[in-house]
Amino acid sequence: MLRNSWILYAISVFLCCFVWILDLLTPAFSLKLKEEECQNLVFASLSGSNLNEVVFSSGNYCLSIQRSIMGWHSSYRIRKKTIIEDQADDIQMREMMDDLSSLRIEEKQHIEKGSLWNSYGLGDLGSSSFVDSIQVNYGSITQRLFLGIALRKENSFYIYARMDGSDDLLLLDGKIQRWIKNIQNNPDCMRSKRVFGFQGTPEKVFWQNASGEKCIFWLEKGQWYLTDNQGFKDRANFVVLEKFLKWMKECTVQRFLYEPCPDTKEFGPFVMAGYQDGGKEEYFLMGKTVIREQKEFLHCARAYFQGEAIKIAYTYLISKLYGEAMPGEIDMFREPQAISIFKDSIKSILREGQISWQLNRAEKDKWHLSLPQEKEVPSKRVEVFLERIFSLKSKKFIKESLQKKAQNRLTLVLEKGDRQVFSWYDFSSDEMAIYQEGYDVGRILPSYQSPLQENHFAFYNNRIDAFSFSEVFAIKIHKSDTLQAFEKKEGVWWCVYPGLHLAEKDAVEDILRHCAWIMARGVLGEGESARKKFLCGEKYSLEIASLSPEKEKKVCTIELGEEVEKGFFALWVSGFPYIYKIPDNLKQSIDKIGKPFKQE
């Protein structure tokens, strides 16, 4: 047993030593392997992070791509004359950098006799040489690689090459030649086809329509804002702005144009979009519709500011469908919602002006009325009110100073102590203009049945359970100076005054249905003075008798008052302190009961 333990111990020690030796050898082996791999790379230390410039040359054609604070900038020249200056395409740049950084030397041969270079297409390599070349500047290193004759070898495509200042003939993968052929065949090969080059959310976004209306947008604490060309500040529509930014990111060039750059007057009426982000800015002009190859495009331009003047850098075409998706009016960017706040953060609501009241949130789900009287109110009524004011939306806007016009004010106090104040005044007989404090643009809303016009009774309980429908056995209907009386015997309704005859069951029960349980549309007032004010009982009143299971007789009096607004009447019910606003259903059912008889 002891002997076996010693054997296991020895094996363990041996394995530990073996692993330790491997750990020492592996980094050295890996480093040696890496050095051998780097020796076979044409641009040994090149990476995407240290590349500064690449210049592709072929005869009279030259494409230079440089790193700048705005990204990659490409410059295309013919006979030393700059033809194109533009952003380089990010995807193309990544692909090109991968090709250059991974370009390997397949074979290498030292050539001493200069005359032999001509047979490989690499003879005259002076400054005015027409031999194709790739010059790479990375870190502090500048290397120029000349490309010679291409050949096929063992079903593969290769090209001879020579590094400037070296006498080594290199055999490289022939795919590197495609970057040279690109500048000969397609001068736009490295240009970005995206109209705008930003990735995330820019610091500022610009827009201008053909009429000259313009605005600047910016994002602050999750809310978009705008200022127009008059300097008026307003809330911007989050959904529209996000769609607009998506449009800017997705808009692509269909075709670059090689035409003399027009000035903005020659270009014609245009819509402009642009952005600023850090030190980077881009501007886009969208002009008239043009037809190319029986297809409709929009004539567009890349623009820049020279002082206050807009200059055109170059022109191109985009799909007409992109143009149709761009907003054309400034009001389309405005937030239509009159009041936009996270309702759960509200702890107090103060209404001042022609009507005054105040609500305070006592607990999460409890609200308390503190003005004009102390009263706990149903939280559901407050929730309904908040939903209604948050649903107020406008399609009409007004830029006008309030200057003593404001007749009413609503202050929303938030949990962190922030206050949002909204003021409004009568804009017309049926419209109101509402402004948020700190903003210069108002929203025009219909004033009819607006929740902002309601008094504190809007938060009272609107449900009226006057009696139990099944317990009713008698009903008297007073209409002006007439009376009708009905009684229910053994489940059958009889008219007992005037005269005795069978009553129309559906007509009688229709009246009961409209007053047994009532969900009023609001409270109009309180007390006897309000009852008189709204003329309750002057024309219509009901006396409804019911018998409880305990044989307790109850009489409920219901009085209809005047029409307070079209289709709505005042209502008083005995046992309830308020005057309610209800639809005209009850009045209609009373009128249908039959021709009334004069009361004796």
**pLDDT tens sequence across 513-572:** 999 989 998 899 999 999 999 999 999 999 999 999 888 999 999 999 999 999 999 999
| Whole-angstrom distance, CA of residue 338 vs CA of residue 397 | 10
pLDDT surpasses 50 at 32: no
Q: Average of pLDDT values for 333-356?
A: 92
| Distances 269 to 1, 211, 289, 336 between C-alpha atoms, Å | 100, 8, 11, 28
pLDDT surpasses 70 at 15: no
Q: How confident is the model at residue 66 (pLDDT cuts 50, 70, 90)?
A: very high
| Whole-angstrom distance, CA of residue 183 vs CA of residue 83 | 12
- pLDDT score for 124: 79
Strand partners, 409: 352, 423
Plot region of 166 (φ>0 → left; ψ -120 to 50 → alpha; else → beta): beta
- pLDDT score for 274: 97
Q: Average of pLDDT values for 167-179?
A: 94
- pLDDT score for 312: 95
Task: Give the largest Cα separation in the chain, rounded.
Answer: 140
Q: Average of pLDDT values for 202-208?
A: 97
- pLDDT score for 30: 43
Higher pLDDT, 415 or 486: 486
pLDDT surpasses 50 at 427: yes
**pLDDT tens sequence across 266-290:** 999 999 999 999 888 999 999 999 9
Say whether 474 sits in a helix, a strand or coil.
strand
| Whole-angstrom distance, CA of residue 377 vs CA of residue 357 | 13
pLDDT surpasses 90 at 589: yes
pLDDT surpasses 80 at 8: no
Q: Average of pLDDT values for 406-426?
A: 92
| Distances 281 to 252, 303, 530 between C-alpha atoms, Å | 17, 10, 66
Q: Average of pLDDT values for 88-111?
A: 93
- The candidate with the shortest Cα–Cα distance to 134, out of 161, 171, 159, 165, is 161
In this structure, the number of other CB atoms found within 10 A of the CB of residue 109 comes to 12
Least confident of 176-190, 490-504, 511-525, 576-590: 176-190
